[in-house]
Chains A and B, each alone.
Chain A
Amino acid sequence: MSTTTVETSAATTGPGTPAAPPRRTRRRGENTPLGSLVSHGVLTVASLIALFPIAWLVFLSLGPDKDDYLHPGGIWRKMTFANYSFVLQHTEFFDWLKSSLIVSLGTTVIGVLIAATTGYAVSRMRFPGYRKFMWVLLVTQMFPVAVLMVPMYQILSDLQLVDSYLGLVLVYCTTAVPYCAWLLKGYFDTIPFEIDEAGRVDGLSPFGTFARLILPLARPGLAVAAFYSFLTAFGEVAFASTFMLSDTKYTFAVGLQTFVSEHDAQRNLMAATAVLIAIPVSAFFYLVQKNLVTGLTAGGTKG
C-alpha cells in the first residue's frame, strides 16, 4: 500500500544512475495490484469462513437420513425436501413460530414505546441525577442472566406467570428497555438541537416538541431499536428454556433444542427446522442492516 513520494524517488535517482521508470501516480485509497490481490484473497477466505457453516447446514438439511451428516458425500445423490415437509406438517413448528412472534413482537412494542421518551430526555435535558441514570442504564446492560434468573423465576412463579407469554415479555423488557434507551439516545443526539429550539419558540411544550417534531424525524432510529429488541428476544435461550414449560409455548430457541434431545437421531429434521428459522430472519436482517449499522454507531462515531 506504499505510495511513492517525491523524496524517495529523488533519492533513488542519484547522478549516474538511469532515471527510474516513471510511475503512475496513485490516488489515495487506491491499491497496488499486489495489495489489492492480497485484499481480495483475504476477504475471499474470510467470506468463505463466514458462509460455510450456514451453507453446510442448508446442505445437510437436504439429506433424508438422520446420519447423513457423517457421510455428506451421499447427499448429492438423494437430495430431497422431505425433511422440510415433515417439519412443517408433523411437528410443533407453527406453535413455536407463534410463540416466538408473540414474545418478540410484545417485547419490541413495549420496549420501544417506553424507551423513546427516555432516550429523548437523556439526549436533550441535563437534569440532576442525569449521570447516575445513564450509569444505571449501562449497568443493567451487564446483568448476567444468572443474576436475575433465580429471583425472577421465584417472582414469576409467585405471580403465576411462569409458562406465560406475558412473563417472558416482561423478562425480555429488562434487557430490551435499557438498550433501546441507549440506542435511541444516540440517534436523538444526531438530530439538530435547533429543531427543538425552533419548536419551543413556536410555543410547543417539551412533550409536543418530542411528539410532533422529533419522533417523526427519529423513525429510522426507532426502527433500529425495534429491530434490535425483536432479534434479541427472538434469539434468547436461557430465560426461554427455563420459563416456558409446555412444549406448545416454546420459542424457536427452545423448540430446536428439544428436537435434539428428544429425537436425538433425527438431526436431518433439526437441520431443516434451523434453516426454516434462519432464512426469514436473515432476510429481514439484510433488509434493515444498513440502518442497524447506522443506529449502532450513531452514538459511537460522534464521540
Chain B
Amino acid sequence: MTVAIDRATGKRHGDRAPRPGLGHRLRRGYQKHWYAYAMITPVAVVLGVLVLYPLLYGLYLTLTDANSLNTARTIGVNHIDATYKFIGLDNYKDILFGATAYDRFWSHFIWTIAWTAICVALHYTIGLGLALLLNQKLRGRTVYRLVLILPWAVPTFVTVFGWRFMLADGGVLNSVLHALHLPSPNWLEDTFWQRFAAIMVNTWCGVPFMMVSLLGGLQSIDASLYEAAEMDGATAWQRFRHVTVPGLRPVGSTVVLLGIIWTFNQFAVIFLLFGNTAPDAQILVTWAYYLGFGQQPRDFAQSAAYGILLLAILIVFTSFYRRWLNRNDQQLAI
C-alpha cells in the first residue's frame, strides 16, 4: 500500500516503459486505491439504490402510459395488477410536439427560464450589494448581518404563509398601496401579479444565502491587493472592477450555478403560494408535480417524462456552464 495522499495527480502512468498486463494493472489499482473505493462505497450504494434505481425506473415509466388507474394497486383485500403498456417515446413526442404542447410545456418552459434568470439576477445583485455594504467598517454591521439573514433562518414553508397574509386581498400590502393611492393588484389571482409575487417572495427568501456566500468571498480577497491598487491611484470603481470582481469569481460562479439549480427546481415557494389555483404561474417542477399528484387520474408517465426533461435541461446547462468557465480559465469552486 502506498501513502494515502497522492497529490501529484495524472503523473502516475507515463514513466513505466513496458505496460503491464490488464490483470496486473487491475490488481495494482486495487491495491493502491482499495481504501478510497471502500470509503466511497456507502455513498455509492446509497446513490445507486436510492437515486439510480428510481431514475432508471422513472425512465422506464416515461416509455409507458402508466397512470393511477392502470398501475398495480391494492384496494382493500383485492390486489389489482398493473395493466399499463409500453408506448415508446410517445410521451416525449406528445409533451414536446403534441397538439397542446405550447399550452402545457412550452409556455411553462419559457416562464421557468424567465423565472430562473430574473430570480438569480436579483439574488446576485442584491446579495452582492448588501455584501459590499456589510464588508465596510461600519458601526453595527454584525446586527445588520444577523437581521438580514433572518429570511434564511425561518423555514420556507413558514415564510410563504406569512407572505400569503400580506399578499391577500385586503392584506397589509394592498392596504399600504391603497393608502399611497397606488393601484392594488390581485396578487394571488391575476397571472402577471402572481408571477410578480412569486419572484418577489423567492427573491426575499434567496438573497441571504447569496449575501452571506459573497461576503465570505469578499473577505477572502487579499487586502494587500486593494492597498496596491490604491497606491497606483485606482478609483473606487476601478478597484471594484479589477480587484473585487476577479476575486469574487470562484465563489460567484459556484453560487450562481447553485442558485440556478435551486431556483429552477424551486418547488415550495410556488406550490405553497398558489396551490393549484395558478395554472399559468406554475414552473415546470410544480407543473410536473401537478400532473403526477395534483389531479385525478394521476398521470405518472407524463409526470416522470417532465422530470427527465427537466434533468436533461439542467445537465446540458451545467455542462455548458462548466465548459464556459474552463475556457475563461476559471474553476468551479465546488
Taking beta carbons and an 8 Å cutoff, which residues of A are in contact with B?
1-3, 5, 7, 28-31, 36, 39-40, 42-43, 46-47, 49-51, 53-54, 56-57, 60, 69-70, 72, 114-115, 117-118, 120-122, 124-128, 133, 136-155, 157-158, 170-171, 173-174, 177-178, 181-182, 186, 193, 196-197, 200, 205-207, 209-210, 231, 234-235, 237-238, 242, 252-253, 256-257, 260, 267, 270-271, 274, 277-278, 281-282, 285-286, 289, 293-294, 296-297, 299-303
Q: Decide: A125 and B307 in contact? CB cutoff 8 A.
A: no
Interface segment out of the listed B37-45, B96-104, B180-188: B37-45
Q: Decide: A60 and B268 in contact? CB cutoff 8 A.
A: no
CA distance A135 to B299 in the complex (A): 31
Interface residues of B in 129-156 (CB under 8 A from A): 129-130, 133-134, 136-138, 140-141, 144, 146-156
Q: Decide: B235 and A2 in contact? CB cutoff 8 A.
A: yes
List of B residues within 8 angstroms of A178 by Cβ: 43, 47
Q: Decide: A147 and B310 in contact? CB cutoff 8 A.
A: yes
Q: Which of B9, B136, B152, B172 contacts A56 (CB 8 A)?
A: B172
Q: Decide: A2 and B165 in contact? CB cutoff 8 A.
A: no
Q: Decide: B288 and A173 in contact? CB cutoff 8 A.
A: no
Interface residues of B in 200-248 (CB under 8 A from A): 204, 208, 212-213, 215-217, 220, 223, 226-227, 230, 233, 235-236
Interface segment out of the listed B28-36, B116-124, B191-199: B28-36
Q: Does B166 contact A (CB under 8 A)?
A: yes
Q: Jot down 16 A-B pairs with beta carbons below 8 A, ordered by A.
A: A43-B144, A50-B204, A138-B318, A142-B314, A143-B51, A144-B265, A144-B311, A153-B293, A173-B50, A197-B5, A207-B35, A270-B161, A271-B165, A286-B153, A303-B249, A303-B331
Beyond known contacts A54-B162, A69-B171, A281-B155: 20 more, CB 8 A cutoff? A43-B133, A50-B147, A50-B148, A53-B159, A54-B159, A118-B40, A121-B39, A125-B6, A142-B318, A149-B293, A154-B71, A158-B72, A193-B7, A196-B5, A200-B4, A206-B39, A274-B161, A282-B153, A289-B146, A299-B333
CA distance A72 to B53 in the complex (A): 52
Q: Beyond A126-B6, A206-B4, is A151–B50 a contact (Cβ under 8 Å)? A: no
Q: Which of A50, A150, A196 contacts B292 (CB 8 A)?
A: A150
List of A residues within 8 angstroms of B271 by Cβ: 237-238
Q: Which of A147, A154, A293 contacts B55 (CB 8 A)?
A: A147
CA distance A52 to B254 in the complex (A): 30
CA distance A115 to B47 in the complex (A): 11
CA distance A113 to B44 in the complex (A): 14
List of A residues within 8 angstroms of B137 by Cβ: 29-31
Q: Does B261 contact A (CB under 8 A)?
A: yes
Q: Beyond A121-B36, A155-B53, A238-B268, is A147–B304 a contact (Cβ under 8 Å)? A: yes
Q: Decide: A56 and B147 in contact? CB cutoff 8 A.
A: no
List of B residues within 8 angstroms of A40 by Cβ: 138, 140
Q: Does B95 contact A (CB under 8 A)?
A: no
Q: Beyond A50-B147, A256-B158, is A150–B318 a contact (Cβ under 8 Å)? A: no
B201 to chain A: closest CB distance in Å?
Answer: 9
List of B residues within 8 angstroms of A29 by Cβ: 136-137
Q: Beyond A150-B61, A154-B300, A238-B271, is A128–B35 a contact (Cβ under 8 Å)? A: no
Q: Does B251 contact A (CB under 8 A)?
A: yes
CA distance A301 to B5 in the complex (A): 22
Q: Decide: B285 and A127 in contact? CB cutoff 8 A.
A: no
Q: Which of A3, A150, A171, A253 contacts B303 (CB 8 A)?
A: A150
List of B residues within 8 angstroms of A207 by Cβ: 35, 38-39
CA distance A137 to B29 in the complex (A): 23
Q: Beyond A126-B6, A181-B43, is A146–B35 a contact (Cβ under 8 Å)? A: no
* Residue in chain A with minimal CB distance to B214: A297
Q: Does B106 contact A (CB under 8 A)?
A: no
Q: Decide: B4 and A138 in contact? CB cutoff 8 A.
A: no
Q: Which of B7, B54, B258, B288 contacts A152 (CB 8 A)?
A: B54
List of A residues within 8 angstroms of B86 by Cβ: none
CA distance A52 to B136 in the complex (A): 25
Q: Beyond A142-B314, A150-B307, is A53–B162 a contact (Cβ under 8 Å)? A: yes
Q: Decide: A302 and B265 in contact? CB cutoff 8 A.
A: no
Q: Decide: A206 and B51 in contact? CB cutoff 8 A.
A: no
Q: Decide: B251 and A43 in contact? CB cutoff 8 A.
A: no
B218 to chain A: closest CB distance in Å?
Answer: 10
CA distance A200 to B3 in the complex (A): 7
List of B residues within 8 angstroms of A53 by Cβ: 151, 159, 162-163, 166, 204
* Residue in chain B with minimal CB distance to A35: B136
* Residue in chain B with minimal CB distance to A42: B133
